[in-house]
């Protein structure tokens, strides 16, 4: 059995997940680079080959669609066969909408009011961000129980904070809607259920938010570079065995109210 840290990152073929994968590989991790489209995962993994050579880490593309139970089970079976364990799960895959074009803030707000948001779109978002993350947790838990210093990182968002959004002065108060933002609130609720289930085990659980980062999720409107915006996700994913559990942080290790 290898001593290298074995990690699975979902939605790792682009954006924050890819940046995290690069940095974990640079720290010597063996990272299963999850991608719903295997060819795109293979392309992403090929792009970080230079990092692998320097660090001894590696990126292994793996097909995983978090809305497809069969693909999740197949991924778990493959990791069991190849590694016998999983040390860290990063539930990163996420979507913000289903319409296939960028929406500016006013248009996004108009599109996602409680009174008019599409229930089909809300269900699709929740299927990935909430039920997908929970399904991957359920499938990977037996592997994590056999892992070393196991940790689960839930990549959520500050826009999911109920306490923050209830404040009329919060910058994104007016765009708190039932789709993406509420899905991240629900993801945090799922994370709490996981934390409570695991509180008497050695498996640690953290929730983390990237900064507002230029990725496909927001039509590249984010104000932070991929490297800077992913920094807190990387910091939490690199916490050692003495690192905390039960945290929800964003940007420079700042706690977020649930
Ligand atoms: N960017 C920000 O400002 C920001 C802020 C706060 C939180 N976040 C969170 O950060 C995480 C990563 O987002 P990002 O900004 O890096 O966006 P991104 O570049 O769009 O990446 C999202 C990833 O999730 C994957 N994905 C979508 N649906 C999936 C499914 N059904 N199964 C498996 N993978 C799926 C995407 O795959 P495809 O490439 O195939 O679409 C992509 O790899 C998300 O959870 C997001 O909510 C982002």
Instruction: Give the position, in ligand 1's atom list, of the atom nearest the Cα of 67.
Output: 31
Residue that is written with structure tokens 């803030």 in the block: 105
For 100-142, what is each residue's pLDDT tens digit? Answer: 777 777 777 788 899 999 999 999 999 999 999 999 999 999 9
Alpha-carbon 156 to chain mean position: 7
Ligand 1, residues at Cβ distance < 6 Å: 10-11, 13-17, 36-37, 65-67, 92-95, 128, 132, 155, 157, 209-210, 212-213, 215-218, 222
**Quick check: 54 and 26 in contact, CB under 8 A?**
yes
13: helix, strand or coil? coil
Distance from the CA of 13 to the center of ligand 1, in angstroms?
9
Which pLDDT value is given to residue 107?
A: 79
Question: pTM (2 decimals)?
Answer: 0.97
Distance from the CA of 198 to the center of ligand 1, in angstroms?
26
Instruction: Give the position, in ligand 1's atom list, of the atom nearest the Cα of 19.
Output: 16
């Amino acid at each position: 059995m290898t001593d290298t840290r074995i990690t699975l990152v979902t939605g790792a073929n682009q954006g924050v997940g890819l940046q995290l994968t690069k940095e974990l590989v640079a720290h010597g991790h063996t990272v299963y680079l999850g991608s719903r489209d295997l060819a795109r995962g293979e392309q992403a993994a090929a792009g970080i080959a230079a990092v692998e050579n320097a660090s001894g880490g590696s990126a292994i593309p793996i097909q995983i669609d978090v809305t497809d139970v069969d693909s999740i089970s197949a991924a778990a079976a493959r990791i069991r066969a190849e590694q016998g364990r999983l040390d860290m799960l990063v539930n990163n895959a996420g979507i913000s909408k289903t319409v296939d074009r960028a929406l500016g803030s006013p248009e996004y707000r108009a599109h996602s009011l409680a009174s008019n948001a599409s229930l089909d779109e809300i269900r699709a978002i929740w299927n990935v961000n909430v039920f997908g993350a929970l399904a991957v947790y359920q499938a990977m838990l037996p592997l994590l129980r056999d892992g070393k210093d196991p940790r689960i990182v839930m990549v959520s968002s500050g826009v999911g904070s109920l306490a923050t959004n209830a404040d009329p002065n919060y910058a994104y108060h007016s765009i708190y809607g039932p789709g993406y933002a509420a899905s991240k609130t629900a993801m945090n609720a799922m994370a709490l259920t996981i934390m409570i289930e695991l509180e008497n085990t050695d498996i640690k659980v953290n929730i983390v938010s990237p900064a507002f980062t230029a990725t496909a999720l927001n039509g590249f409107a984010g104000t932070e570079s991929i490297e800077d915006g992913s920094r807190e996700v990387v910091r939490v994913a690199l916490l050692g065995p003495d690192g905390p559990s039960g945290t929800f942080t964003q940007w420079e290790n700042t706690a977020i109210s649930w």
